[in-house]
Amino acid sequence: MTKGIFLTGTGTDIGKTYVAGLITKKLEEAGFAAAYYKAAMSGNARRGDGTLIPGDADHVKRVSGIRQPLEEMCPYVYEQAYSPHLAARLEGNPVDAAAVAAGWEALLDRYDFITAEGSGGILCPIRFQREHGEHRILLEDIIRMLRLPSLIVADAGLGTINSVVLTAEYMLRRDLPVRGIIFNHWHPGDVMEEDNRYMCEELTGIPVVACVKPGDTDLDIGVDALSALYEPIGRNK
């Protein structure tokens, strides 16, 4: 049975895609069939023919060496580097939950592990429209739809205690299970970052499962411990 995990972050540009690349790389190199999925990507460049390149998916594919076709990784791709709800308002093609679910379901039973990634932080609006009836999708709705536990990706530096604890508290109060925290931009021996790690674990009760240093090409967690964070995926009915 396919297993999955969801990566959310304490904000945008926190390093979720970088971490997703390292995670899928470790699983692929261990001999598993690994895959990646993201409902909506913003801030993408265009090819010579004018089509948009799903940049996050392209990064993960190149870093990890996974065999999954790029076209399977993201159903909604936008050019403007805005939240997906605003990018879609400007460019058209707003996110449809059924299409996201269909893209996800198509991956099941074909891969051993799927790493899903969110846009921005936990409160990122994916779709927010009032015309022709209200259509509202927040990132937490995507997590519920995919039925996944999450990992929180956070910057290791100043301010992370506040952002990690607020993110974790929001998710746990909304019955969104969190399996662990991953610190990005980690500097071993840095007294503040070491204290941040300790305080985040103490205040949330959630373990820091990996720390990613600048330029890392491998995740500092064993493949058995990593795979144990994933959960079997149930199909939506």
How many angstroms separate the CA atoms of 117 and 56, rounded? Answer: 9
How many angstroms separate the CA atoms of 58 and 67, rounded? Answer: 12
Place of tokens 């790690």: 197
Residues labelled catalytic: 38
- Cα–Cα distances (Å) from 96 to 63, 76, 142, 176, in that order, read 29, 9, 11, 22
Place of tokens 């990507």: 41
- Find the farthest-apart pair of alpha carbons in the chain and give their distance in angstroms, rounded: 55
How many angstroms separate the CA atoms of 49 and 101, rounded? Answer: 28
CA angle 66, 118, 39 (to 5 degrees): 75
Q: H or E element: which one contains 195?
A: helix 191-204
